[in-house]
Structure 1
Amino acid sequence: MKHALTILILLVGWSAAAQELVEFRGVERSGYYNETGLLKRWPENGPRMLLKIEGIGKGFSQPILADGKIFVTGIKEDTLDILSAYTLNGEMLWDVAYGRSWTASYIDSRSTPTFCDGKLYVVSGTGQVNCIDGNTGKIIWQVDAIKKYAGSIHTHGDSEAPLLVGDLVVYTTGGEAYTMVAFNKNNGNLVWKTKSLGGNKSYASPTLIRHNSKPIILVQTAENFIGINPENGVLLWSHNLMQYHLNSSGKGGNTNPPLYHNGEIFVTSGYDHPGLMFRLSEDGKSISLKWRNDVLDNHHGGVVLLDGNIYGANWTNNSNGKWASINWETGETNWEQDWINKGSIISADNMLYFYEEKRGNVALVEPSPEKLNIVSSFRIEDGAGPHWAHPAIYNGTLFIRHGDVMMMYDIQAN
């Protein structure tokens, strides 16, 4: 699988321009981090902790490292989402309230900020979209997008990480008025709106792919999987996902960014929804279902693709799950095995990293289509609540967030 560099070439006015982009789940939101020279085995008690920062606020979002600073969201006050910036020594540079948090269920902050050229783009749990100066913490612009564009948030709040496409910030509203809106990233002015197919917005963040040199935004609402032309917001195609949601549990809960490779797209969520592989037409204006797999129904921890195989955890129920691997080309299950509990997954330097959600165990895993191969593991002891934040890797450092505590571990080989 070929991955883009963290410096991505995007379309600005539909001409090439370079942007420094750091976002949720690494390169192209695929769970892949473009890091090399990492440890292939950890010490018995885990890698050396470089830094622990407490009091970052309650949250399930992923920290990011950009412009020599650590950025992370969390709730430090009862009903406000807060974005904070820290030095690499753990000193807080600034924090700023950027919107109302979700208070109906699981109130912790959800949105991972997207960094581009000195600015951060982040969404509150109730759908306020922000552009924030990365040096000062000043809010440059804010749009209450759910309220202004009649959006509709699913059961557990807005978890979207804003997607940047050239000069655009695109955001999923859901609802009966529109599916998605796009703002000018510099001033927050509306650029385009996509017609609605009905249904709430889902938990999954949108992704940008390039199919035969054509950019396409991939969007999941609670009901549909949709392709959108980023130039004008025109809907290219849609596929109804609700037809696969046969159980009342998690109905409409589409949870994970899709994976794209060689003209094909894999989509998964939990709740016994099957994993689905779609094939894009050559012109990108239609999709067809290639295969379905009933084993890898990832809850909300993401999946990764390595050497032709997909890896991730599956869903037994909201509290339990196993780990599995399936073949990208055929959809056949390579293996399904127990390891403590389900959780999130990322990859770097041809290794997998598991972060188990109930007890906080972290594992270094050698990818294999033959069996689950745990090389090393340790347990996160700090923080409180479910271990739902996805891990991240920057500059040879593993970032783990648990509740209001963030930890950084040295995983660079000497």
Structure 2
Amino acid sequence: MIKKCLLVAFTLLFTTTILFAQKPTVWRGENNGIYPDTGLLKEWPANGPEILWTFEGLGEGHSSPVFANNQIYLSTLQGEDGFIVVLNQDGTLAWKVNYGKDFKDSYPGSRSSVVVAGDLMYMYTGYGELICMDAKNGDKKWTKNAFEDFDGENIRWGVTETVVVDGDVVFVTPGGAKNNVVALNRFTGELVWSSPGKGETSAYCTPLLLELPARKLLVTHTADHIIALDAKTGEMLWDFPHTNRWKVHPNTPLFYNGDLFCFSGYGKGGVKLDLSDDGSSVSKQWEKVELDSRMGGMVVLDGYIYGSGDKAREWRCVNWETGEEAYVSDAIGKGVTIFADGMLYCYSDRGELALVEATPEAFKVVSQTRVELGTAQHWAHPVINKGRLFVRHGDVLIAYKIQ
């Protein structure tokens, strides 16, 4: 009996370990910009948080690092070739691998972040190539081209989508008239299902995967609409019109208290959608043009949305239920926001890095510094991992101590 109990316990432990190890990395973390780290500094030193290490000479890129297998994975462009650079936790190079051509045109550099799921990793290039590789050495397992294999087409600034992995499938948006969104077997690249969606081009958006009681829902932006698909079958359940001047919608939708908030820049703003319990329909609750973040994401906390705009450049806090503003501030430039342990981490397109209290009372900047290292635009989204804040600025990755 004792041996049997030990065997059961070992089996459960082994199964749990395997499942945990296979959990895929997710763009902006598992909770869309809200990181679980605790015990973080509530105020930084006068010169900013201590820099633990930097890795310079990365190349060109706007992607963020991901953390898996006790290593750090980052995509970048060197010359005309894209590379996955893999670092140890101390910032030293473990290895790197060439994954092929990546976007060299307007605003050159890697766009998408790597997705690591157990012993496999996935990279989607600005030219529509989806590559599955061994996460231990970069050996290629399979590739698919969204344009040649699935009738998609490229967009003005190169496709920019960090693919979503769920179980045995990987989701990607070719943007074709027939194969608008597809699900592929992540081990072989074989087609699982294809949806014509609205037949529009992709729109720089990383989808949101929702697990509802009735179904899993995949929500994303295409050129002129927000669309929702049944993640198991590919059936399109609903669409909602949403476009802007350039058909650019790079922000993953927010999900909170059973509802959605979808938003994009160039003065379009955001719309809150009441999502039915089974995910099969939506209705508009309110719109706000000032919540028009172009590419910086937002977070929703305790009934309030926090983030900055594009044409409406200020930082705002808005009531989730009503759309009413709690505050407006121009203390720093517009940019990206993430959250951890009661604080907002705001990284502006001017290189300002600010620690801000997450309260609807006011935009209270507690500490501020400037990202001086690196190159090109300040567009990459910061990431928090194990008490460290990681900021990628072009050819450098900076690890700050925030614990």
> Aligning the two structures, in what range does the TM-score lie when normalised by the shorter sequence?
over 0.9
Over residues 190-209 of structure 1, what are the superposed CA-to-partner deviations in whole Å (9 max), with x where a residue is unaligned? Answer: 11111141221001101101
Identity of aligned residues (%): 37
Select 1:400's aligned residue among 391, 395, 400. 391
Q: SS of the counterpart of 1:268?
A: strand
Residue 352 of structure 2 corresponds to 361
Indicate if the aligned counterparts of 1:343 and 1:354 stay in contact, CA closer than 8 A.
yes
Indicate if the aligned counterparts of 2:24 and 2:166 stay in contact, CA closer than 8 A.
no
The one-letter code matched in structure 2 to 1:395 is K
Select 2:57's aligned residue among 55, 58, 61. 55
Superposition map of 1:26-37 within 5 A: 26-28=29-31, 30-37=32-39
Over residues 7-58 of structure 1, what are the superposed CA-to-partner deviations in whole Å (9 max), with x where a residue is unaligned? Answer: xxxxxxxxxx654222210114x11111111111111111111110011121
The CA distance in 2 between the partners of 1:200 and 1:103, in whole Å, is: 20
Select 1:325's aligned residue among 317, 331, 336. 317
The CA distance in 2 between the partners of 1:217 and 1:27, in whole Å, is: 15
Select 1:65's aligned residue among 64, 67, 80. 67
The CA distance in 2 between the partners of 1:291 and 1:32, in whole Å, is: 24
The CA distance in 1 between the partners of 2:336 and 2:152, in whole Å, is: 28
The CA distance in 2 between the partners of 1:356 and 1:175, in whole Å, is: 34
The CA distance in 2 between the partners of 1:343 and 1:331, in whole Å, is: 21
Indicate if the aligned counterparts of 1:168 and 1:185 stay in contact, CA closer than 8 A.
yes
The one-letter code matched in structure 1 to 2:267 is D
The CA distance in 2 between the partners of 1:177 and 1:213, in whole Å, is: 27
Select 2:262's aligned residue among 250, 255, 267. 267
- In the alignment, structure 1 residue 351 sits paired with structure 2 residue 343: yes
The CA distance in 2 between the partners of 1:236 and 1:134, in whole Å, is: 35
Indicate if the aligned counterparts of 1:309 and 1:369 stay in contact, CA closer than 8 A.
yes
Superposition map of 1:211-250 within 5 A: 211-242=212-243, 245=244, 250=245
- In the alignment, structure 1 residue 305 sits paired with structure 2 residue 303: no
Normalised TM-score (structure 1): 0.90
Deviation at 1:86, TM superposition (A): 1.1
Residue 154 of structure 1 corresponds to 155
The CA distance in 2 between the partners of 1:213 and 1:116, in whole Å, is: 25
- In the alignment, structure 1 residue 204 sits paired with structure 2 residue 205: yes
Indicate if the aligned counterparts of 1:216 and 1:229 stay in contact, CA closer than 8 A.
yes
Residue 46 of structure 1 corresponds to 48
Indicate if the aligned counterparts of 1:130 and 1:141 stay in contact, CA closer than 8 A.
yes
Indicate if the aligned counterparts of 1:31 and 1:347 stay in contact, CA closer than 8 A.
yes
CA 55–147 in structure 1, closer or farther in 2 if over 3 Å, else same: same
Over residues 243-281 of structure 1, what are the superposed CA-to-partner deviations in whole Å (9 max), with x where a residue is unaligned? Answer: xx3xxxx43111200001122000111111021000111
Q: SS of the counterpart of 2:180?
A: strand
The CA distance in 1 between the partners of 2:46 and 2:224, in whole Å, is: 46
Q: SS of the counterpart of 2:147?
A: helix
The one-letter code matched in structure 2 to 1:42 is W
The one-letter code matched in structure 1 to 2:342 is N
Deviation at 1:100, TM superposition (A): 2.3
Residue 272 of structure 2 corresponds to 277
Q: CA RMSD in A?
A: 1.5
| Runs of 4+ in structure 1 over 4 Å off | none
Deviation at 1:175, TM superposition (A): 2.7
Select 1:334's aligned residue among 316, 320, 326. 326
Residue 176 of structure 1 corresponds to 177
List runs of 5+ in structure 1 lacking aligned partners. 1-16
Residue 129 of structure 2 corresponds to 128
Deviation at 1:213, TM superposition (A): 4.8
Residue 186 of structure 2 corresponds to 185
Indicate if the aligned counterparts of 1:82 and 1:95 stay in contact, CA closer than 8 A.
yes
The CA distance in 2 between the partners of 1:213 and 1:282, in whole Å, is: 8
Select 1:382's aligned residue among 361, 373, 395. 373
Deviation at 1:361, TM superposition (A): 1.2
- In the alignment, structure 1 residue 25 sits paired with structure 2 residue 28: yes
The CA distance in 1 between the partners of 2:94 and 2:110, in whole Å, is: 20
Normalised TM-score (structure 2): 0.92
Q: SS of the counterpart of 2:24?
A: strand
Indicate if the aligned counterparts of 2:214 and 2:278 stay in contact, CA closer than 8 A.
no
List runs of 5+ in structure 2 lacking aligned partners. 1-18
